Amino acid sequence: MKIEGRNAIHELLKTDKEIDKILVQKDLKDDASKRLINIIKSKRVKLQLVDKYVIEKESEGKRSQGFIAFVSDYKYFDLEDIIEDAKEKDGFIVVLNEILDPHNLGSIIRVCECAGVDGIVIGKDRSASVSDTVMRISAGALNHVKVARVVNINTAIEKLKENGYWVYGLEIDGGEIYKTDLKGKLVLVIGGEDSGVKKLTKSKCDGVVKIPMCGKVNSLNASVACGIAVFEALRQRTGK
């Protein structure tokens, strides 16, 4: 897997993930690049200086800023790992129901990490998986939030409920999210880009909430909707 860009690589270097090597474009003169190069050297990570055309050839997002790291493929966590890590507090978990666009997945991971979400659950089928694109769009957030991939989303929801979590689906036919208590052990279920939360999955939820809207368009991008929802939960849970 490739990780591109200064910010993403800077976040990567904060973790204990094994890095095979980092390609760095020759003759980078800006202060931000110089600082990152010094950090790479201090971590004793293999650094390979290459010409700009090599970076352009290796870059998939074309936004590498002259830095590309090579790491092993993402290792998913088990759902039990997320539950166990949050057992001593009011855990906050996001379940994704058929998010197919890797850009949306990357954006969701980024907003969830910023909102202090303890873990994200995705399905093995009918779901985008963690890829170079997802890592790039997450801007390094994927290094700091646990993602579990499960065979069956509905079974995972049942497991979470057994562990004391209250589960809300985010849909247009629910109660207003700003009037809903989102404190305690919380799971938010975010539906796919076109179909929303599936009917069977919605039936597994304890409740359904919506984001009130005033415009003529009645839906939001999945990552935008997720961002609004998780930060409303954060506001309630921190009392700020």
Average pLDDT value for residue range 23-50: 95
Domain spans in the chain, listed from the N-terminal domain onward: 2-71, 79-238
Provide the percentage of residues in the chain whose pLDDT is more than 70: 100
Region 180-188: what's the mean pLDDT? Answer: 97
The pLDDT value recorded for residue 39 is 96
| pLDDT of 60 | 80
Q: Does residue 217 carry a pLDDT above 90?
A: no
What's the rounded mean pLDDT across residues 160-169? 97
> In the prediction, which pLDDT does 165 show?
98
- What the block records as the tokens of 96 is 């994704």
59 touches 84 (CB < 8 A)? no
Q: What pLDDT does 219 receive?
A: 77
Tell me how far apart the alpha carbons of residues 81 and 219 are, in angstroms, rounded to a whole number.
Answer: 33
Which is the CATH superfamily of the domain at 2-71?
A: Ribosomal protein L30/S12 (3.30.1330.30)
Q: List, in sequence order, every residue forming a beta bridge with 190; answer none if it has no partner.
A: 96, 170
- As a whole number, mean pLDDT of residues 193-220 equals 89
Residue 194, pLDDT score: 79
What ranges in 86-221 are assigned the alpha helix state H?
102-114, 132-137, 153-162, 199-204
pLDDT per residue over 47-104, tens digit each?
999 999 999 999 887 789 999 999 988 899 999 999 999 999 999 999 999 999 999 9
Residue 118 in this model has a pLDDT that exceeds 80: yes
Q: How many CA atoms lie within 13 A of 198 on its CB side?
A: 14
Looking at every residue in the chain, the average pLDDT score rounds to: 93
Of 143, 109, 128, nearest to 19 by C-alpha is 143
Question: What is residue 195's predicted lDDT score, i.e. its pLDDT?
Answer: 81
- Asked whether the whole model's pTM tops 0.75, one would answer yes
What is the model's pLDDT at position 162? 97
Residue corresponding to tokens 């790491």? 71
Average pLDDT over residues 114-132: 94
Confidence of residue 154 (pLDDT cuts 50, 70, 90): very high
CA distance 145 to 62: 25
- CATH number assigned to the domain covering 79-238: 3.40.1280.10
